[in-house]
Chains A and B, each alone.
Chain A
Amino acid sequence: MTAIEVEHLYKTFRIPHEKRTTIFETLTGAFKPPTYETFHALKDINFTVEEGEALGIIGENGSGKSTLLKIIANILYPSSGKVTALKRITPFLELGVGFQFDLTAVENIKIYGTIMGMQKREINDKLDDIIEFAGLEKFRDTKIKNFSSGMQVRLAFSTAIQTNPEILLMDEVLAVGDMEFQQKCLDILSQYRKDGVTIVFVSHDLGSVRRFCDKTLLLNKGEQIVLGDTGDVIDRYVYGGGDEAPTAGSQNELDAVEPDVKPEDKNPRWGDKTVEITGVEFYDKFGNKGSRFNSFDPMIIKIFYNAHKKVSDPVFGIALYSETGENLFGTNTELKKASIEYLEGKGHVDLMIERIPMITGRFLLTVAVHTHDQKPYDWHDKQYSFDVMPTGRDVGLFEVPCSWKI
């Protein structure tokens, strides 16, 4: 059975150049028609969510994710199109909506519980559980303005999870709070999944989306780019989909290839340029050029060179740095026993990475070509960078291959 149906949904915001907020301004400006900027927040969105299914919505900031969620939640109205929800919707767009800071913990549980759609009896029955779960037994009758923000969040969260949602809308709630709190949120989400609650989940955390969502919707500037299996959609998001990214130049037409990742700054570059590095490109598992990769995916780094005269026994090397500048890894053709007899003219050497071991973050790359005895021809120090997007929930800089034995 379908739980949510979205058909040809459009949302346009009119942003006035000069906002009139009073009757006075409206009257004095009556002869000057107001001028507007129109902003298309959502354009022709279509999808359905089946009962018990979890839909992830991903996209860059400003792509319309939250607007879409608010329209489903009935908070904003669509400019055209239709949203049908056949079940009761519980939005978790923010924790602690309607908290009154001058009232006590118990009073706030009653108000917030009611707002979240709980019945009076239900709240009274669960009151003690909620307070215990939040760890606030001693502060039942304390006004919550005297609570720390952590206590307020715990109170809101333990109240919110007592609701029995049919359709749960979740916006970045997980983004707040410490690791322990995020873990609790994910546990609750798993529980709801098991109970067959229909979930619409907006997040930047691709790892969580991958873990919880059956299918995923990718938005870009308000347009529905792709809807489908979560793994495919995340690949499409991370690797840009392939159709707009330029494809790699074929090996035979190297002269025509103009690498677009060029050294940005001349200073951290040295060497006599007998062999010049003309560019470095990163290729993903689909063979497309890009600078964003899923962790644990394969990757190819192509180094383009131009040897102005014949040089023998050159060595190509790379060094990888974290964003804070720590050297993580370095290797060269000599160490990997890929000796080059001589170079002449243009060409490229490729570094094949089977599996990116880094978990998340931006990484800087130094690329160099030098003689056998370390005299640089061309050295580009930390001139290239790429981003790694997390796919799992392990933390840290890189993955250590391991397993547990119990």
Chain B
Amino acid sequence: MIVNHLKELYDYRNLIWQLAWSEFKLRYKNSILGYFWSLLEPMLMLLVLYVIFTNLMRVQVKYYQLFLLLGIILWNFLSRATTIGMFSVVGKPGMVKKIYFPRDIFVISSCITALLMTIFESLIFIMFMVYFRIPVSTNLVYVPLILLCLFIISLGLSLALCALNVFYRDVQFIWQVLLQIGFYATPILYTIDVFPKNLQRFILLNPIARILNSARDTIIYSSPAKTEDLLFMVLSSIVFLLVGYIIFIRFEPRFAEEI
């Protein structure tokens, strides 16, 4: 069944790409200026947070600008993928009611849209890397795996949120609040060393915290990712994807009737 579905998705690869790409273009208003405006958002966020945390909170982290920027970019990916994904079915009643293709295509292409946006924002990050003369190390081989895990976790969350949002329209508000809490509960602005040991273990139950740690270790600090982190994020991404699909499949048959 899974193999058949993957084959079906492969047959629809053009559609997935077209939907993702057109959404991406729409988000940036299809204009050159639009792309530059979109870079301003993370830059401004970086500036504000950097000023506050270095001057007021006196955070002592090496390459804090990069540390912060990477955290913001990766968190933004999760936040965007889940938000766009959550509305991907509710926002396209015409397509849901008038034509058939596997419904998870809506969610998958939303996550790809978010990925395209993230890749675009990463250009700034790469410029910062060059500016700070961060060495290119062999530890970068871990990066694709780390990003894949982030993508799959986001996809799993989006699938569940998307299906639930069709039936319970307050899911969107609840999720926005949860994202806000998550932003501060995840070590984006700070390192987890600031917490006592037993609290650290609690924070590390959040797979996104592991992903951020590993991404920073390998990209910024040229050190290998911790095996424990890698294992935890791979396992949790499988769990997220499975649970997401189970929820999605349960609600999917009634999408066309409920929208």
**Are A115 and B26 within 8 A (Cβ)?**
no
Contact A103 B18 (CB under 8 A): no
B235-255 with Cβ < 8 A to chain A? 253-254
Interface of chain B residues 1 through 57 with chain A (CB within 8 A)? 14-15, 18-19, 22, 25-26, 29-30
Spot the interface stretch: B70-78, B90-98, B144-152, B199-207: B90-98
- In the complex, the chain B residue whose C-beta lies closest to that of A99 is B94
- CB-nearest residue of chain B to A107: B22
A329 at the interface (CB under 8 A from B): no
Asked if A350 is at the interface (CB within 8 A of a chain B CB), the reply is: no
Q: Is A30 an interface residue (CB 8 A)?
A: no
Q: Kindly specify which of B120-128, B130-138, B168-176, B221-229 makes contact with the partner chain.
A: B168-176
Nearest-CB distance from A10 to chain B (Å)?
15
| A223, B253: Cα distance in complex, Å | 23
Contact flag A111-B94 (CB < 8 Å), given A22-B168, A24-B170 = no
A116 CA / B96 CA spacing, docked (Å): 13
| A119→B94 CA distance, assembly (Å) | 22
Q: Indicate if the CB atoms of B26 and A23 lie closer than 8 Å.
A: no
Q: What residue in chain B is nearest A171 (Cβ atoms)? A: B98
CB distance B95 to A97 under 8 Å? yes
A-B contact pairs, 13 of them (CB 8 A): A21-B167, A21-B168, A23-B171, A70-B256, A74-B100, A76-B256, A94-B94, A107-B25, A111-B18, A111-B19, A114-B18, A115-B95, A115-B99
Cα distance, A73 to B30, chains bound together (Å): 33
Q: Is the CB of B256 within 8 A of A75?
A: yes
Is residue A98 contacting chain B, with contact meaning CB distance below 8 A? yes
- Chain B contact residues: helix, strand, loop or mixed: helix
**Closest chain A residue to B29, Cβ basis:** A102
Chain A residues lying within 8 Å of B29, measured Cβ to Cβ, are 102
Identify which of residues 3-24 in chain A touch chain B, using a CB-to-CB cut-off of 8 Å. 13, 21-24
Residues of A near any B CB (own CB < 8 A): 13, 21-24, 26, 70, 73-77, 89, 91, 93-94, 97-98, 100, 102-103, 107, 110-111, 114-116, 119-120
**Chain B contact residues, CB within 8 Å of chain A:** 14-15, 18-19, 22, 25-26, 29-30, 92, 94-101, 167-171, 174, 253-254, 256-257
Q: Nearest Cβ distance between residue A161 and chain B, in whole angstroms? A: 16
Using Cβ atoms and an 8 Å threshold, which residues of chain A touch B18? Answer: 110-111, 114-115
A98–B94 CB distance below 8 A:
yes
Complexed CA–CA distance, A110 and B18 (Å): 8
Name the residue of chain B whose CB is nearest to the CB of A119.
B14
| A72: min CB distance to chain B, Å | 10
Q: A22, B170: Cβ atoms under 8 Å?
A: yes
Knowing that A26-B168, A74-B100, A75-B100 touch, tell me 17 more A-B residue pairs with CB under 8 angstroms. A13-B257, A21-B167, A70-B97, A75-B96, A75-B97, A77-B253, A91-B99, A91-B100, A93-B99, A97-B98, A107-B22, A111-B18, A114-B18, A115-B15, A115-B95, A115-B101, A119-B14
The answer to whether B257 and A76 have CB atoms under 8 Å apart is yes
User: In the complex the two chains form, is A103's CB within 8 Å of B26's CB?
Assistant: yes
Measured in the bound complex, the distance between the Cα atoms of B94 and A194 in whole Å is: 31
